[in-house]
């Protein structure tokens, strides 16, 4: 028996369509993307090509005529584009972020209209941030006031640091519709450049950025831009509520960007170490180097497991996304930032030279990826959000509350996902987090107990118990969160990642027979790393595991994505 896991096969098809990225004559190639980065030029023709190939259909729910039925597929697409180039991926995928509030809270007419715009290849942007207010959306100054037409609004103000601010046809804009303080004073509007009136809405200067230098990171100035009643998303005063729900989906859906970046960086690390002669041998033959590669690969697998569970939870556990999204978005980009940094240590001077080693791609992916942990809610913002649910998470864990079937569907790749129901999202999760709450069962599961060394399970078990004792006793005394809350959030993320690894392995191990699954190799590496990150003393015996994993060089050149799951999986169908 094998698993019908479609995304991998679709990814292979797309890779074939896009061509060999090392070939400078290929449109969407590494050499071209490096040149665009150097000259800070937008990848217009590459994005147009992706439009022609039909990528925007993955941003539109099936219910509105697109191909977005689940996030396995969408995530795979994002990951695939990202491992060629993050600038392109972030620029193109932004349309999904701009449209998501409408899929979550818009009327059917709004959604159908916007779907037509997206499918026609128009970029959509999300206008939230303003100059000098950082993540503090409640300080929004852009104002919408009643216009001349009944029900219409006129917008004045400026949005800043907006991805595709100059290019977007529609900017989903957060505005103040009441002078009062608090979230009910804010609304989300669809501002259509084609309808906003000449001069009513203009893009502002491109902002030079640390990474994704070619992207259109700019701003939008509104000088009396008009929006009709059909442009209000989710109702006046519902802006923050709508956003909080839409961001749950987008925050999860952006994390595959990190997997693509990790894939690039790690592959550069393997290539360099395998080809490099040093100290009279190949670099990769030094155990310490091989261990570093193995640890980086294990970190990628940990991130992948969290992303996969997160993406599948959108369909399988939609009520719990307020927790899942905060966890995954805080966790995955941080892990991958560190992974890239660690690979850079192996590359030495080639980590920061622009034209050496595959054209200096490493320094680009390192710079580019840093934005993933910042946009769409930074790590700190997500940890802050998670902390707001600490005491409930502690209680639900103790009560062993568990959506057992939802977890099984999320973890078992052979099971079809239920339809996408974005209206079921909630700003808080009454059930807590079933993935984490499954941990006591998983740690006692006979198959897992037979497979994972008892000492490792004990470390994880203690860490989980200790954390939840802290959470159950969590009292907010008013005022700002103490710093310790951010450490607890991080530990919660590690528990989620541990559960994700255990679940994916437990529900699929009988069907996957590749080397990585033999004797649970990837799982043991992943759990060892997680235990260490949870504060366990490093286990010297684990070195051999990592060294073995570090010896598994991916196919040189342009192979399938680095993944727990083999590319041949689809061929087994």
Which residues of the chain form contacts with other proteins (CB under 8 A)?
Answer: 129, 132-136, 139, 161, 207-211, 277-281, 285-291, 337, 341, 344-346, 348-349, 351-356, 360, 363, 366-367, 370-371, 373-375, 378-380, 480-487, 532, 535-538, 540, 543, 546-547
| Shorter beta-carbon distance to other proteins: residue 182 or 430 | 182
The distance of closest approach from Cβ of residue 494 to other proteins in the complex, given in angstroms and rounded to an integer, is 12
| Shorter beta-carbon distance to other proteins: residue 64 or 491 | 491
| Shorter beta-carbon distance to other proteins: residue 117 or 218 | 218
CA distance 555 to 545: 20
The distance of closest approach from Cβ of residue 207 to other proteins in the complex, given in angstroms and rounded to an integer, is 6
CA distance 310 to 255: 9
Which residue from 307, 316, 485, 462 is spatially nearest to 389, judged by alpha carbons? 485
| Shorter beta-carbon distance to other proteins: residue 343 or 417 | 343
CA distance 181 to 109: 31
The distance of closest approach from Cβ of residue 66 to other proteins in the complex, given in angstroms and rounded to an integer, is 30
| Shorter beta-carbon distance to other proteins: residue 71 or 546 | 546
| Shorter beta-carbon distance to other proteins: residue 17 or 484 | 484
Cβ(499)–Cβ(436) below 8 Å: yes
The distance of closest approach from Cβ of residue 353 to other proteins in the complex, given in angstroms and rounded to an integer, is 6
The distance of closest approach from Cβ of residue 318 to other proteins in the complex, given in angstroms and rounded to an integer, is 29
Cβ(163)–Cβ(216) below 8 Å: yes
| Shorter beta-carbon distance to other proteins: residue 16 or 205 | 205
The distance of closest approach from Cβ of residue 466 to other proteins in the complex, given in angstroms and rounded to an integer, is 11
Cβ(339)–Cβ(262) below 8 Å: yes
User: Which helix H or strand E contains 291, and what residues bound it?
Assistant: helix 287-316
| Shorter beta-carbon distance to other proteins: residue 116 or 484 | 484
The distance of closest approach from Cβ of residue 543 to other proteins in the complex, given in angstroms and rounded to an integer, is 5
The distance of closest approach from Cβ of residue 162 to other proteins in the complex, given in angstroms and rounded to an integer, is 11
Backbone phi and psi for residue 556, each to the nearest 5 degrees, phi listed first: -60, 155
| Shorter beta-carbon distance to other proteins: residue 232 or 299 | 299
DSSP track, 67-106: SBS-HHHHHHHHHHHHTT-HHHHHHHHHHHHHHHHHHHH-
CA distance 270 to 290: 9
Residues whose CB falls within 8 Å of the CB of residue 298, separated by 6 or more in sequence, listed in order: 522, 525, 526, 528, 529, 546, 549
The distance of closest approach from Cβ of residue 384 to other proteins in the complex, given in angstroms and rounded to an integer, is 8
Residue 191 DSSP symbol? E
DSSP track, 229-241: GGGEES-TT-HHH
The distance of closest approach from Cβ of residue 204 to other proteins in the complex, given in angstroms and rounded to an integer, is 13
In order of 100, 141, 375, 381, 435, the CA distances from 128 in angstroms are 13, 10, 11, 14, 31
Which residue from 390, 559, 570 is spatially nearest to 485, judged by alpha carbons? 390
| Shorter beta-carbon distance to other proteins: residue 363 or 563 | 363
The distance of closest approach from Cβ of residue 310 to other proteins in the complex, given in angstroms and rounded to an integer, is 21
| Shorter beta-carbon distance to other proteins: residue 517 or 546 | 546
- What's the chain's Rg over C-alpha atoms? 23
Question: In the structure encoding, which two tokens stand for residue 510, read together?
Answer: 């009988």
| Shorter beta-carbon distance to other proteins: residue 150 or 479 | 479
The distance of closest approach from Cβ of residue 366 to other proteins in the complex, given in angstroms and rounded to an integer, is 8
Three-state SS annotation for 369-434: HCCCCCCCCCHHHHHHHHHCCHHHHHHHHHCCCCCHHHHHHHHCCCCCCCCCCHHHCCCCCCCCCH
- 10 Å CB burial of residue 206 (0-12, 13-18, 19+) is middle
């Amino acid at each position: 028996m094998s698993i019908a896991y479609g995304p991998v096969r679709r990814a292979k098809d797309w890779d074939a369509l896009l061509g060999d990225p090392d070939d400078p004559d290929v449109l969407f190639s590494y050499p071209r993307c490096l040149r665009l980065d150097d000259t800070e030029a937008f990848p217009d023709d590459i994005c147009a090509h992706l439009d022609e190939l039909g990528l925007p259909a993955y941003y539109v729910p099936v219910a509105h005529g697109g191909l977005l039925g689940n996030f396995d597929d969408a995530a795979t697409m994002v990951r695939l584009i990202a491992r060629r180039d993050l600038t392109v991926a972030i620029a193109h995928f932004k349309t999904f972020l701009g449209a998501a509030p409408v899929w979550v809270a818009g009327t059917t007419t709004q959604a159908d209209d916007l779907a037509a715009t997206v499918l026609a290849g128009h970029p959509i942007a999300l206008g939230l941030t303003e100059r000098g207010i950082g993540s503090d959306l409640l300080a929004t100054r852009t104002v919408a006031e009643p216009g001349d037409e009944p029900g219409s609004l006129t917008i004045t103000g400026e949005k800043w640091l907006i991805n595709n601010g100059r290019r977007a046809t529609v900017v989903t804009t957060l505005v103040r519709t009441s002078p009062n303080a608090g979230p009910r004073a804010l609304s989300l509007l669809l501002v259509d450049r084609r309808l906003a009136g000449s001069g009513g809405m203009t893009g502002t200067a491109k902002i030079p950025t640390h990474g994704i230098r070619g992207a259109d990171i700019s701003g939008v100035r509104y000088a009396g831009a008009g929006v009709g009643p059909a442009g209000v998303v989710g109702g006046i005063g519902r802006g923050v509520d709508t956003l909080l729900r839409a961001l749950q989906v987008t925050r999860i859906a952006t994390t595959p960007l990190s997997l693509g970046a990790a894939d690039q960086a790690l592959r550069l690390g393997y290539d360099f170490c395998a080809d490099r002669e040093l100290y009279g041998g190949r670099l990769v033959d030094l155990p310490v180097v091989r261990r570093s590669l193995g640890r980086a690969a294990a970190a990628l697998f940990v991130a992948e497991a969290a992303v996969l569970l997160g993406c599948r939870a959108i369909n399988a556990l939609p009520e719990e996304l307020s927790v899942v999204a905060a966890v995954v978005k805080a966790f995955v980009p941080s892990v991958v930032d560190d992974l890239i940094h660690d690979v850079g240590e192996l590359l030495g001077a080639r980590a920061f030279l622009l034209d050496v080693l595959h054209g200096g791609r490493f320094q680009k992916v390192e710079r580019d990826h840093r934005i993933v942990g910042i946009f769409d809610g930074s790590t700190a913002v997500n940890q802050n959000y998670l902390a707001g649910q600490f005491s409930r998470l502690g209680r639900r864990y103790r009560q062993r509350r568990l959506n057992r079937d939802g977890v099984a569907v999320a973890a078992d790749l052979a099971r079809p996902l239920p339809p996408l129901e974005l209206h079921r999202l909630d700003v808080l999760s009454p059930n807590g987090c079933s993935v984490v709450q499954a941990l006591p069962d998983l740690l006692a599961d006979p198959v897992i107990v037979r497979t994972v060394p008892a000492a490792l399970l004990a470390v994880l078990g203690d860490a989980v118990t200790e954390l939840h004792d802290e959470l159950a006793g969590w009292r907010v005394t008013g005022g700002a969160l103490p710093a310790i809350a951010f450490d607890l959030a991080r530990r919660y993320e590690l528990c989620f990642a541990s559960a994700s690894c255990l679940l994916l392995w437990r529900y699929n191990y009988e069907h996957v027979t590749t080397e990585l699954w033999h004797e649970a190799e990837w799982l043991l590496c992943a759990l060892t790393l997680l235990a260490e990150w949870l504060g366990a003393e490093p286990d010297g015996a684990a070195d051999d595991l990592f060294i073995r994993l570090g010896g598994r060089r991916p196919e040189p050149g342009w192979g399938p994505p680095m993944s727990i799951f083999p590319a041949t999986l689809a061929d087994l169908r």
